[in-house]
Amino acid sequence: MLTHSVFNPVSPQALAISNLFIFIMIVSLVIVLIIVGVLAYTCTHFRYHPGQADPPQTFGLTKLEITWTVIPFVLLVIVFAATMKTVSISAPPDDNALAGRTPDMTIVAHQWWWEVRYASGVVTANEIHIPIGKRMLVALQSADVIHSLWVPQINGKTDSVPGQTNMVYMEADRAGSYESACVEYCGDGHSRMRALVIAQPLAQYQAWERQQLATPPAPTGLAAEGAKLYQQFGCQSCHAASIGPDLTHFGSRGTLAAATLTNTPAHLDEWLHDPQAVKPGANMPNFHLSTKETRMLAAYLESLK
């Protein structure tokens, strides 16, 4: 059950947090069991029987009360120490760590999609590639309201707050495709603002990077017709201006609509036909395209590898 949970970490940060979490849960479980155990005992051994006289009227036991104040305090000191150790491994970078370092990527959160810009020049959306074993420094920003990208297997979350830049590390020690979502309520599209983080071996990552930086192949056939429509409808006025996701290499992505649908011609057709039916409240207007037009556009967009 826990394969895709915080307890199956793929990064040193998430591992440290997972260990801390399990430690605190064990301590907590012991406390709960003690309370349950004592109550189970008292409820069986100190039951009232009709006619029974009043029990001894005692008011407290100072020594006992001090004990159970000191012991929790000691336990908490231990938990605090464990916490600080975990912080040293998992914390977002502080000012010292940041000195002179530019972020490897900047993620700008929008209602309701993720803009991803790499220092290498790659621009994409909703699908974040990282090379295995490298600690990527990620800058988090927001274009409108507060969002928060959470990849449970990779790290704790840090919010994307408008007007400030928060920094986090993103690192994975094995290949995989990790589910991610916005977890700070950001309006009607909040449930459908997901993302995928894809960790790849360095060679594959670099190949992806090269592909993303290259110009996509020129469209032919139906795709060429789609390209003309793309110009005609002025799609670039949003999709090249960060109002909507960058589509330059749309065909290379595994998902669309902020990782809520797989990237297939059928799903793309659905989206182009009526964005609000797929994602109520989406900012993309409904262009009332005919089936022929959506097919052409879909062909064009899928050709953008």
Partner 1 sequence: MSVIPTKRPEKAPLVPDLAEPLPWLYKDDGLISWIGSTDHKQIGIMYMLTTLVFFLIGGLEALVMRLQLGAPDNHVVSPQAYDQLFTMHGTTMIFLVIMPMLIGFALYFVPLMIGANDIAYPRFNALGYWVFLFGGLLLYASFIGGGAPDAGWFAYAPLSSDFKFTSNLGMDYWGVGLLTTGVGTLGAAVNVLVTILTMRAPGMTMRRVPLFVWMTFINSILLLVAIPALNATIAMVLFDRLLHAHFFDAAAGGQPLLYQHAFWSFGHPEVYIMIFPAWGMISEIIPVFTRRPIFGYAAIAGASVAIVFLSAVVWGHHMFTAGMGHPLDVVFTISSMLIAIPTGIKVFNWTATTWGGTIQFTTPMLFVLAFLVQFTIGGVTGVMFAAFPVDWQMEDSYFVVAHFHYVLFGGTAFGLWAGTYYWFPKITGKMLSETIGKWHFWLAVVGFNLTFMVQHILGFLGMARRIETYPDLPYWHLLNLVSTVGSFVLAIAVLVFVWNIWVSLRHGEPAGNNPWHAWTLEWATTSPPGVHNFEQVPPIRGRRPLWDLSHPDNQDWQHGEGGKGI
Q: Which is nearer to partner 1, 197 or 235 (CB)?
A: 197
Quote the least distance from Cβ 140 to partner 1, whole Å.
8
Q: Which is nearer to partner 1, 158 or 204 (CB)?
A: 158
Q: Structure tokens of 260?
A: 């809520």
**Measured between alpha carbons, how far is 210 from 106 in angstroms, rounded to an integer?**
18
Q: Which is nearer to partner 1, 212 or 260 (CB)?
A: 260
Quote the least distance from Cβ 121 to partner 1, whole Å.
27
Quote the least distance from Cβ 301 to partner 1, whole Å.
22
Q: Which is nearer to partner 1, 7 or 287 (CB)?
A: 7
Q: Which is nearer to partner 1, 35 or 240 (CB)?
A: 35
Quote the least distance from Cβ 30 to partner 1, whole Å.
10
Residue 116: partners with Cβ closer than 8 Å, 6 or more residues away: 105, 106, 107, 122, 123, 124, 125, 126, 127, 128
Q: Which is nearer to partner 1, 121 or 163 (CB)?
A: 163
DSSP secondary structure letter of residue 191: G
- DSSP states along 241-277: TTSS---TTGGG-SEETTTTEE--HHHHHHHHH-HHH
CB contact burial 135-157 (16+ within 10 A = b; e otherwise): ebbbbbbbeebebbbbbbbbbeb
Please calculate the CA angle 173-245-272 and round it to the nearest 5 degrees: 120
Helix (H, G, I), strand (E, B) or coil at 141: strand
Quote the least distance from Cβ 93 to partner 1, whole Å.
10
Q: Structure tokens of 168?
A: 């986090």
Quote the least distance from Cβ 200 to partner 1, whole Å.
21
